[in-house]
Structure 1
Amino acid sequence: MTKAKPAQSAASSDGSARRLGDEYIVSADELARFKRDGYVHLRGVMSESEMKVIDDAYDAFLDRRISVEGRDFNDMTTGEFGTDPANYAIVNVMLPRKYLPSLQGNLFERRAASIAKQLCGDGMVIDFDQLLAKQPFRNDAVFAWHQDQAYWIDTPDRRTATCWLAVD
């Protein structure tokens, strides 16, 4: 008796076969799910070693080694700012690439641009960036599933791809 081959090799299930430099290849099935459901979960967009630059930058923001002005560093649940972030349920850093320009054009941004183009077509650009950090063991650290477009101003081109990257 022979065992059936798995549907995906280890290389493809971790995303490595789909990472090609600045590109990440979205499958036809994933594109169809995005068009049908309005979202798609893409695994393995970044390897663990590729995450180091982003991990280090985010740690620097959360440790307050990078200065962020006023309300651009706040508690997403209350809007509180200028106080000890250890008390925040969800740390919200608005526009991290403004405060750390070396983040601009990082590998995740380039791959996200590749993904957005595949999902939405040409002409997609970065409009906004944000870091959210849920504090552990907090019942009020809830970030509910939602659709952003309801909050946005009306524009002739409503194409959008919000690219979230989970950072541990």
Structure 2
Amino acid sequence: MSVNLESLPLMENEYKLTPEQIDSYQKDGHIFLRNVMSQDEVDQYGPIISDLVMQKNYHDKPISERDTYGKAFIQVGNLWKMSEQVARYVLAKRFANIAADLMGVDGVRIYHDQALFKEPGGGHTPWHQDQIYWPLEGNKTITMWMPLVPVPEEVGTMTFASGSYHKGFISKVEISDESHRTLGEYIQGKNIPQVNYGAMAAGDATFHAGWTLHSAPGNPTDLARKVMTIIYYADGTRVAEPDSNARRNDLAGWLPGCKGGDVAVSPLNPLVYKR
């Protein structure tokens, strides 16, 4: 989709958070924010992102023939490197400012973006922790999860295990049927409260910490659940020694040229907000 870059909104203005919202995030490891983008902004960026995702969709099998992970969504990362128009969305100061405020840090870098489109009939997203994949030290990591279309309650937004990120690393099991079973049992056994925010409008967003346990149901409707995510980490974060194939792959793909102990900076990780 060809759109003049200069006609797209910059989204540099601040989204004001209250002290109560910041406290809530830092306690629970997740938060729901309304109208992070206006409907006009969604109308301009949504079709551009959707068109690019469908161009880059790598699935060549029907949903019924895929594994659990493949059934969960069409997944495309680093769209910002593929399109100047999408880069204007991903690198938006407004989103990065929210991420910095919630984490209580002075600056944030992009780890990567990721489109997660759950197709009609798409399967559930098993319980998992994002940061088992990320070779990043500490807990100052956060993901913005933003639907580009309305997400009715029956389609399913994410469910979060409140406060679970304070535990840090819980299990090395990658996202799978096994992670859904074992982490689900962990949540039940520890009586960890689960929160689902219900229906979301296009342009609403949730933010969750990298260690926050979360899952999402399948999509029983005839409409795709189109979601764009952006992962941020605090400026100055160091690279963790990769202790799994997943982290070794992420290190090579998302932090090229970096090694364990380095400050996490590469051409793929621009500083998108600094106080």
Q: Which TM-score band applies after superposition, normalised by the shorter structure?
A: 0.5 to 0.7
Match of 1:91 in 2: 74
Shift of 1:47: 1.0
- The residue type paired with residue 143 of structure 2 is T
1:166 equivalent in alignment to 2:166: no
Moved more, 103-112 or 89-98: 103-112
Q: Which whole-Å CA distance do the structure 2 matches of 1:135 and 1:28 have between them?
A: 37
Are the counterparts in 2 of residues 92 and 132 from structure 1 also a CA contact under 8 Å? yes
- The residue type paired with residue 46 of structure 2 is D
1:151 equivalent in alignment to 2:133: yes
Relative to the length of structure 2, the TM-score reads 0.43
Listed as ranges, the gaps of 5+ residues in structure 2 are: 1-10, 65-69, 150-275
Q: Which whole-Å CA distance do the structure 2 matches of 1:102 and 1:42 have between them?
A: 24
* 1:62-101 matched pairs, under 5 angstroms: 62-64=53-55, 68=56, 73-74=57-58, 81=59, 83=60, 89=71, 90-101=73-84
Q: Which whole-Å CA distance do the structure 2 matches of 1:52 and 1:85 have between them?
A: 29
Match of 2:238 in 1: none
Going from structure 1 to structure 2, the CA distance change for 1:128 and 1:49 (only over 3 Å counts) comes to same
Which of 32, 46, 52 is the equivalent residue of 1:55? 46
1:46 equivalent in alignment to 2:28: no
Which of 126, 129, 152 is the equivalent residue of 2:113? 129
Q: Which has the higher contact order (CA 8 A, sep 6+)?
A: 2
Question: Number of matched residues?
Answer: 132
Relative to the length of structure 1, the TM-score reads 0.67
Are the counterparts in 2 of residues 85 and 91 from structure 1 also a CA contact under 8 Å? no
Shift of 1:84: 6.0
- The residue type paired with residue 150 of structure 1 is I
Q: Which whole-Å CA distance do the structure 2 matches of 1:62 and 1:86 have between them?
A: 17
Are the counterparts in 1 of residues 79 and 87 from structure 2 also a CA contact under 8 Å? no
Match of 2:89 in 1: 106
Going from structure 1 to structure 2, the CA distance change for 1:41 and 1:56 (only over 3 Å counts) comes to same
Listed as ranges, the gaps of 5+ residues in structure 1 are: 1-19, 75-80
Residue deviations 1:109-155 (CA, integer Å, cap 9, x gap): 3221110121121121111101011012x1x5212454312332242
RMSD of aligned alpha carbons: 2.6
Going from structure 1 to structure 2, the CA distance change for 1:84 and 1:144 (only over 3 Å counts) comes to closer
Q: Which whole-Å CA distance do the structure 1 matches of 2:53 and 2:38 have between them?
A: 22
Are the counterparts in 2 of residues 22 and 114 from structure 1 also a CA contact under 8 Å? no
Q: Which whole-Å CA distance do the structure 2 matches of 1:107 and 1:158 have between them?
A: 22
Match of 1:37 in 2: 28
SS for the counterpart of 2:37 is coil
Q: Which whole-Å CA distance do the structure 2 matches of 1:100 and 1:126 have between them?
A: 16
> Which consecutive aligned stretches of 4+ in structure 1 deviate over 4 angstroms post-superposition?
84-88
Name the one with the larger strand percent.
2
Identity %: 27
Residue deviations 1:57-88 (CA, integer Å, cap 9, x gap): 12212442xxx4xxxx44xxxxxx4x268876
- The residue type paired with residue 93 of structure 2 is R
Going from structure 1 to structure 2, the CA distance change for 1:109 and 1:146 (only over 3 Å counts) comes to farther
